[in-house]
Amino acid sequence: MTTDLYQAPAKLSRKNLKQGATSVDVPRNTINPIDRTGQKSTESRGLFNSKIGFVLAAVGSAVGLGNVWRFPYFAATYGGGTFLFAYLLIALLFGTCLLVAEITIGRMTGAGPLQAFRKLDKRFAWVGMLALITPAIIFPFYSVIGGWVARYSFVFLTGGAAGAAETGAFAAFTSQTWSPILWLGIFIVMCAALLAQGIRKGVERINLVAMPVFIVMMMGLAIYTLTLPGAGEGVRHFLLPNFNELSLNTFIAATRQSFFSLSLAGGVMVAYGSYLKKDASIEKAAVQIAAFDTSASLIAGFLVIPAVVVVAGIDGLGQGAGLLFATLPAVFYAMPGGAVVGAIFFTLMLAAAVTSGISLMEVVVTTVTDRTRLSRPQAAWTVAVGSFLAALPVTLGMGMWSHVRLGGRDILGMMNFLTDTVFMPLVGLGTVLLIGWGIGPKRIIEAVEASGRKFRLAGLFTVLIKWVGPLLLSGLVVTSFLMAFGVITL
């Protein structure tokens, strides 16, 4: 992994911090231009203090529940190999270009999303607003699922594998009232506690150890699963495309998933980019992030989809969001040493979820510390309480409030739909319009090349950002609205 991406910021004195220091009070490094908006500078945000820094933090944000929980169920729901084909195309080409775009916007402006878009072009200030609202909506429902992972990790660690493996155990758990609320609270407290300490202490240490171990472990588990009788059918479903089934819906699902998985259109990569030093190669970083994240999803697909087919047959793939939790415990329980393996798996998955959760929270917390006199810990705990309250209806919607339907969806489904098909595509659309037609792709290309390296994908970048992006994303936004108003069903 690259080690040249980060320049350690000068330390901020305690006194400055206490007094709510602004960029004028602290020593500046060369990362950020002077911020005339009154936003605190890089140093006072306290991010990334190790050599591995940026790529690791960005990968930590990207790899999470989106890869292990969401990717397999999206693949299972939207046509297996057909979805995979569309996903690879969109994530690796368009996703990588958008990563470059967002990171560069952050680095050019030295600001989080709220200021960054406004600084580049006032007409696009709304994109920054939406990019801030998006993680504020995702984090609460992400925490509900993070809570499920925390609970499974605890159950396996305390010898409860047999109970977790029983049919119906997952639904029985999520439909309870207090237990999921407790685990949701635990997940949010974990994220807030690490954020309050400052990113450098908490997240980097977790990322450095947990990410590689998690990937290796998933690979081992996938190999084990592939040896089980019946796994072949699952692999075929996951890999083999049926081009007759390739539809607009496949591409919409693939775009939604790639945004979520690569942490795009939620302000995270803009915010992280604002901490990146000038001579770092953004292109190289973006390719590494996309490659790592896509590999994690592929491995999760090879693990979860065959496992589901082994345990529940091919029809088991229709379970939607519960796919991972309803069937994987049974696989662990059936395998030799499975209780231990399950405990390690869910604990590492929890670490991956926490590092992503932190990045979602970070965008909101940074904005709060930039714009108010609250200290970082105060801001982190304030955002934590707000998110917990916002998450309550989501978890209750799985049980006590399961009769509540919003546009035909439960509350979790609705929040997912809102961010996935309305907010993120709108932020993505705003971003490609800003670059393609507002400031022009040239400005971004020059900013990428400010590192002294040529931007090799510049041609592809221009075409994708200027033409493909606006078409794809406006298509997505229009279809979502038509779907929301019941004009079409996909």
Closest CA to 458 of 470, 444, 468, 472: 444
82 binding ligand PFF? (CB under 6 A): no
65 binding ligand PFF? (CB under 6 A): yes
Closest CA to 3 of 288, 217, 274, 268: 288
Please state the closest distance from residue 54 (CB atom) to ligand PFF, in A.
15
Residues 361-380 close enough to bind ligand PFF by CB under 6 A: none
* Of the candidate residues 86, 98, 145, 360, the single one contacting ligand PFF (CB under 6 A): 360
Residues 191-230 close enough to bind ligand PFF by CB under 6 A: none
135 binding ligand PFF? (CB under 6 A): yes
Tell me the site size for ligand PFF, rule CB under 6 A.
16
Please state the closest distance from residue 6 (CB atom) to ligand PFF, in A.
20
Helix segments in 262-375, DSSP class H: 268-273, 282-312, 323-334, 338-371
Question: Which positions ≥6 away from 369 have C-beta within 8 Å?
Answer: 40, 44, 45, 375, 376, 379
E-state strands within 89-172:
none
CB 176 within 8 Å of CB 399: yes
* Of the candidate residues 66, 95, 301, 441, the single one contacting ligand PFF (CB under 6 A): 66
CB 4 within 8 Å of CB 280: yes
* Closest to ligand PFF by CB, 299 or 311: 299
Please state the closest distance from residue 28 (CB atom) to ligand PFF, in A.
28
Helix axis angle, 338-371 to 199-226, nearest 10°: 150
* Closest to ligand PFF by CB, 357 or 469: 357
Residues 258-287 close enough to bind ligand PFF by CB under 6 A: 260-261, 263, 266, 268
Question: Which positions ≥6 away from 168 have C-beta within 8 Å?
Answer: none
Please state the closest distance from residue 238 (CB atom) to ligand PFF, in A.
18
CB 105 within 8 Å of CB 127: no
348 binding ligand PFF? (CB under 6 A): no
Closest CA to 151 of 341, 311, 325, 352: 325
Tokens 């925390």 belong to residue:
150
How far is Cα 77 from Cα 109, in angstroms, rounded to an integer?
Answer: 40
* Of the candidate residues 75, 97, 101, 138, the single one contacting ligand PFF (CB under 6 A): 138
Q: Which residue is nearest to ligand PFF (CB)?
A: 66
How far is Cα 469 from Cα 424, in angstroms, rounded to an integer?
Answer: 13
Closest CA to 342 of 171, 148, 73, 157: 157
Stretch that binds ligand PFF, among 63-71, 277-285, 445-453, 457-465 (CB under 6 A): 63-71
Tokens 């590689």 belong to residue:
212
* Closest to ligand PFF by CB, 136 or 221: 136
* Closest to ligand PFF by CB, 359 or 387: 359
How far is Cα 20 from Cα 27, in angstroms, rounded to an integer?
Answer: 14
356 binding ligand PFF? (CB under 6 A): yes
Stretch that binds ligand PFF, among 1-9, 65-73, 155-163, 313-321 (CB under 6 A): 65-73
Please state the closest distance from residue 449 (CB atom) to ligand PFF, in A.
26
* Closest to ligand PFF by CB, 269 or 309: 269
451 binding ligand PFF? (CB under 6 A): no
Stretch that binds ligand PFF, among 162-170, 193-201, 204-212, 255-263 (CB under 6 A): 255-263
- From residue 284, give the alpha-carbon distance in Å to each of 280, 350, 449: 9, 28, 12
* Closest to ligand PFF by CB, 155 or 296: 296
Closest CA to 85 of 252, 254, 222, 219: 254
Stretch that binds ligand PFF, among 355-363, 371-379, 441-449, 451-459 (CB under 6 A): 355-363
Task: Record the tokens describing residue 48, joined without a space.
Answer: 């990334």
* Of the candidate residues 67, 115, 451, 479, the single one contacting ligand PFF (CB under 6 A): 67
* Closest to ligand PFF by CB, 207 or 263: 263
Residue 225, exposed/middle/buried by CB under 10 A (0-12, 13-18, 19+)? buried
Please state the closest distance from residue 363 (CB atom) to ligand PFF, in A.
7
Please state the closest distance from residue 340 (CB atom) to ligand PFF, in A.
25
* Closest to ligand PFF by CB, 66 or 316: 66
Residue 20, exposed/middle/buried by CB under 10 A (0-12, 13-18, 19+)? middle
Please state the closest distance from residue 95 (CB atom) to ligand PFF, in A.
11
* Closest to ligand PFF by CB, 31 or 57: 57
* Of the candidate residues 44, 61, 355, 462, the single one contacting ligand PFF (CB under 6 A): 61
* Of the candidate residues 53, 64, 329, 342, the single one contacting ligand PFF (CB under 6 A): 64
> What residue ranges bind ligand PFF (CB under 6 A)?
61-62, 64-67, 135, 138, 260-261, 263, 266, 268, 356, 359-360
